[in-house]
Each structure stands twice: as structure tokens, then as C-alpha cells.
Structure 1
Amino acid sequence: METAYIKTPLGIAKIIGDENGVSEISVYNEGTVSAEIPTVLQDAVLQLNDYFERKRTDFDFKLNPKGTEFQQKVWKALLEVPYGKTRTYLEQSKLLGDVKAIRAVASANGKNPLWIVVPCHRVIGTDGSLTGYAGGLWRKKWLLEHENPTAQQSLF
């Protein structure tokens, strides 16, 4: 497994992967940026940078997250939440076929190992609240605003 650290507007992102794909992307408040990016991670780094520069709305590098069958199913469903849109935990549970699984779905979202790329930040509470985000609610808010900026209103 190779590792790279890059600077983002939300902290230092740690990217781990190999020739089978990226298995983890996480964010930290501080850290040292990698001087060199391993070849197997260069596409992921480029695409993440493009995302933050508003040049990209989706990702197409190879993913290889580790998790249970249920977690994999939840993470796959998260990939279907469009850029700039949100879905509630209840809607996610319904789409996965079990409205009663809302807590299990929320738990799987919280264990998502691929920050931003598998967009668990796009899942919100039924009342529209920004609930549950492993990276901190301030990051969730930032990401949602980044993906859906409010246009400046004319004063006249």
C-alpha cells in the first residue's frame, strides 16, 4: 500500500491505495504534505485537487474500500447521490430496501473510508439538519456549500 498526504481547504488529506485502487481517504487538521506522490495515487490526487478547484463534480479513479457486505452496499448507494444534492438517512434506508435499517445505514455512512469520493457528506437528517459526520459538521457544511454555492443576489 502506498500513502500520500495533500493539502486541501479542509485540512491534510491522507490517501492510501495500491494498483487495486484507493482504499482510504481521510482528513486531518494538520500534518506534513508529501513531497512526492506515488504513481498509483497520482490520479486520485489530481482529481481531488480538481474537485476543490471546482473543475470536477465526480471521480473516476479506481476504488477499493474495505468493509462488510452491508457497508459496501451502503457506500455504493452513496455514489448515486448527485453532486450538489442531498438525501436523508431515511431516503437512503428506503432505497436500500429497509426503512427500519436507518441506524445501520447511518453507522455504515460513518465508517465510509473514502472521504468526499463516496459522498456521505450529502446525507442529512430528515429535518434538514447536518447530522453525523466523522470529519466534523463544519467540514460537512463546507462541502455542501462548495457543491451548491448560493448565487449572489442582485441588490437592484
Structure 2
Amino acid sequence: MIASLFILFIISTTIMLFEGKLIRVEEENKKLESTVKERTKELEAEKMIRFAQGLLEDVRTFNESSPVKLQIRLGINSGALVAGVIGKTKFIYDIWGDTVNVASRMESTGLPMKIHVTETTKALTSNLFTYNENSEIDVKGKGLMKTYFL
């Protein structure tokens, strides 16, 4: 059962890692580039929330047939970041930046089985999702921030 969930997270991580990345294939290069350019901040924020909702649903489904009940916390922030592959002998894909750090804080200060988002993400998606009233939390390195739960 744990192996099933582990595989689920590997698959989900793989989807997020490669979804939307520009893979340079000679014939399709121009099509892919134009597709990437057309994406909006709103669409990317929506996709992250829908992905998080899918993860919550996957955990709930897993819990229905498992004696072990798992819970996850999810945090989302929207903004600029740096992404790339690092390493000389072992290559690792990673992301860095303030946006990433704040998303991590949303996760760590969140509640089990809830999606915790920043004011920025809420503003980008408020026409698509219903959020609770905001709460202010003290975010390490940022001070008080308005945050929301989906």
C-alpha cells in the first residue's frame, strides 16, 4: 500500500516536472515555443491548484482501502523562480527563489488535507475557486502575510 502511494507521488512529481517544459524537438520546436508563450499566470496558478486537488483526492482514495490513513499538507505561491539542472556527476533538477521559499512556508504552516495559498495565488484564481476568509500568519523572513485555505 505504501508502495502504491510512493509510485503515485513519483508519477505526480514526474508530471509536474516535465509538464509545460520546452523540450527542443526539431520539427515541433516552433509549436512548443508558441504554446509556452501563450500561457498566463492565471492558468499556471489554476493548474497548480488543480494538481494539488488531485493529490488530495489521490490520498483520500488511498485511505479508503488502506489501514494506514495518510495526510498531506499543500502550499502554493505564485511568482518568479529559477529552475535548472545542477551537478557534475549526479544531476538534479531543482527550483529556487523567494516564490519557492514562501510556497514551502505555506505548506509548513498549513493544515492536513488542505491547500494553503498566498494572497498572490488567491488573486490570480479567485474567479475560479472559493477561499476562506484570510488569516495572517507570521512567515519566517517575510513577517505577517495574508493567506487563504481552499
Question: Does the TM-score normalized on the shorter chain lie above 0.5?
Answer: no
Q: Which structure: greater helix fraction?
A: 2
> TM-score, with normalisation over the residues of structure 2?
0.28
Q: Name which one, 1 or 2, has greater alpha-carbon Rg.
A: 2
